[in-house]
Structure 1
Amino acid sequence: MPEPLPETAAICLGEAMVMFAGGPGPLADVEVFRRSVGGAECNVAGGLAALGVPTSWISRLGDDGFGEHVLRDLQARGVDVGGVELDPVRPTALYVKESQDGRSRMHYYRTGSAAAAMAPEFLDRPEVRRRLAQARVVHTTGITAAISESSAQMLERLATEPREFLLSVDLNWRPALWRDKDPESLWRLLKAADLVLIGADEAAVFAGTGDPEELYERLGAKTLVVKNDAHTATVLEPGGRTDVPALSVEVVETVGAGDAFAAGFLAGTLQDLPMTQRLRLGHLTAAAVLTAPEDHAPPPAAPERERLLSATDEEWAATKIGPR
């Protein structure tokens, strides 16, 4: 008899990696690195759990020390990892953050990783099926669609089978991952999703336009969230359009802010908040990451969130967020 299943409102499906961040300067000169856990879908999973949403992260990891570190990290952040499969042969993926002149550059080591071996039959595992059956939202990204042909096929199956949950997809366009690949599978995934999140800058490269109205027309009638860097987030849906300006933020590091925004917006969706408050919650969680050196950070405390979610437009516009 299977163990009792933890409550699951949201599932994040995709890779996680161990990240090594060096001090300022070229990698050739860095002697000490700081270890943490990153990856788009696991960042969103941790962000949802921090906002009180029962969340499962589902993926594959190497049966190695790095994989164990990922599991411990996510469990410590309140994420259910009972649907994770360990691979005795393929490794856990890694990436290294190089910081020079106030900018960060990522170096990825994910070829042949355990996560890249995800395939359609991965969804048939009892641990996965049981969680999918009770989830209200399943979130994934274009990165998982890109890491291997088999993982793209898995997401296509997820998107085309009958489902009770909302399918959320963040474009997360990474041109290097799509080199010599046809992105048509990603187009199909986006068009099949119930909720799509896109950055205007990446949409301009991927789709040839960052205009929310044009993107909405091309993707079909669904909920579309377009993030315009540090300026405005826009939602288009059958009921109309909503725009909410971003907060004024003293930026420390930009990596992971988009994932944090997705976590905030999805949490607001699951809580049935008004659309303006869903976007505000996305901005608030993104601001917390923008003011931290890691790829994820705790969201603002609940009293501060509640105050800003209910603030007037003038109070919201006057708010400034700095490092905590």
Structure 2
Amino acid sequence: MTSSAARTTTATTVDAVCLGESMVTFHPDRPGPLADVPTFHRGIGGAESNVACYLARLGHRVRWISRVGADGFGDRILQEMAAAGVDVGEVQRDAARPTGVYFKERLDGHTAVTYYRGGSAASAMSADLVGREKAWSGRVLHLSGITAALSDSCRDLVRALTERVPGRPHISFDLNHRPALWNGRDPAQLIGIARRCDTVLVGEDEAEAAWGLASANGVRAALPEPGTLVVKQGARGATVYSRQPDGTDTAHFEPALTVDVVDPVGAGDAFAAGFLSATLRGLPLPARLRYGHVLAAVALTVPGDLGCPPPHARVAHLVGLDDATWDSLVLGQGWTEKDEPR
């Protein structure tokens, strides 16, 4: 049973539509097992909603489409998304299913995540509930493999929205492989979805885990159709493949920034937002990768899923640095609030 949308909106064209689940997150106030941590700090997090918030904070018009429970956690997500500048008017409230939550756990310098999202409101998304007119109301539609893993109806929705038919926008797809969500099912089915998209972002490590592909070139060989393919290669950097009008491919590698990592969760979403922001601005591929790296550095140096990027002018300044200066930067916690990084 679904109530009315969070607020009235029209399907006017925006820069980007992000579709997927967001959850309330609980961050421990100290390291240790969940059983021993006495208090947590509340936030929100979800791959597509993270991308939406970053894009909005970079000055883009963004709409987020999803479902949340008719509960206090759903209220909180909508409040925080709206405060970030994201249009939440197409988010549906579900009186029968809860908003998902997850807890972070810091052990031995590593961050683990425990999800409570089974049977969530977002898992009931379907092609019947989310029409193409609304999902295709942006210049870009951003999706991820997480949504396809939530339920059969969510997988069918992603397939419907990535169908190559007239009128669809530019489709961005981030693999975002989460092994626990597949419950014994084969994530290889995501290859078929990725091949229908225009821009695809894949981590080299997750491509090997999900598809058995051990190199960036191997990922490109498996995904020849997307005009733009980004293979993220961890702390080393990322490679972008671009299909040219004559059918040939170009490849460009851009090293990542050096950062003092506080929490790695959410860095991939921040990278995707930076890359898409530069894509919307029509910047060349090397600059798009650098935008991704700068936004990833924002996420890596804060304890939560979402950081607040510096003003766009400063992001653009960092992207435009010469190679030697770029390679020499070291960004630590709080760098976005300082005049100059070290």
TM-score higher than 0.5: yes
**Cα distance, 1:133 vs structure 2:** 4.4
SS of 1:121's equivalent? coil
| Structure with the bigger percentage of helix | 1
Amino acid at match of 2:168: E
Pairing partner for 1:15 from 18, 21, 33: 21
Match of 2:235 in 1: 230
**Contact 1:43/1:256 (8 A) holds in 2:** yes
**Contact 2:238/2:289 (8 A) holds in 1:** yes
Q: Give matches, 1:176-191, under 5 Å.
A: 176-191=180-195
Match of 1:59 in 2: 66
Match of 1:266 in 2: 276
Match of 2:216 in 1: 212
SS of 1:296's equivalent? coil
**Contact 1:122/1:154 (8 A) holds in 2:** no
Gaps of 5+ in 2: 1-7, 245-249, 335-342
Amino acid at match of 1:248: T
Cα gap change, 1:297 to 1:231, in 2 (>3 Å): same
Match of 1:85 in 2: 92
Q: Deviations over 1:250-289 (max 9, x none)?
A: 1111000000000000000000011111100000000011
**Cα distance, 1:214 vs structure 2:** 1.6
SS of 2:189's equivalent? helix
TM-score normalised by structure 1 residue count = 0.95
Q: Deviations over 1:211-248 (max 9, x none)?
A: 22221111123211001001111100113111110011
Gaps of 5+ in 1: none
Q: Deviations over 1:180-200 (max 9, x none)?
A: 213343221111111110011
> Percent of aligned pairs with the same residue?
45
Q: Deviations over 1:287-312 (max 9, x none)?
A: 01101111110113333212222111
**Contact 2:262/2:302 (8 A) holds in 1:** yes
**Contact 1:284/1:300 (8 A) holds in 2:** no
Amino acid at match of 1:310: G
Pairing partner for 2:298 from 267, 288, 298: 288
Match of 2:264 in 1: 254
**Contact 2:101/2:115 (8 A) holds in 1:** yes
Match of 2:340 in 1: none
Q: Give matches, 1:139-154, under 5 Å.
A: 139-154=142-157
**Cα distance, 1:132 vs structure 2:** 3.5
Match of 2:138 in 1: 135
SS of 1:120's equivalent? coil
TM-score normalised by structure 2 residue count = 0.90
Matches of 1:274 and 1:55 in 2, distance apart?
22
Matches of 1:54 and 1:319 in 2, distance apart?
31
**Cα distance, 1:210 vs structure 2:** 3.5
**Cα distance, 1:103 vs structure 2:** 1.3
Match of 2:170 in 1: 166
**Contact 1:16/1:70 (8 A) holds in 2:** yes
1:317 matched to 2:327 = yes
SS of 1:285's equivalent? helix
Matches of 2:251 and 2:164 in 1, distance apart?
29
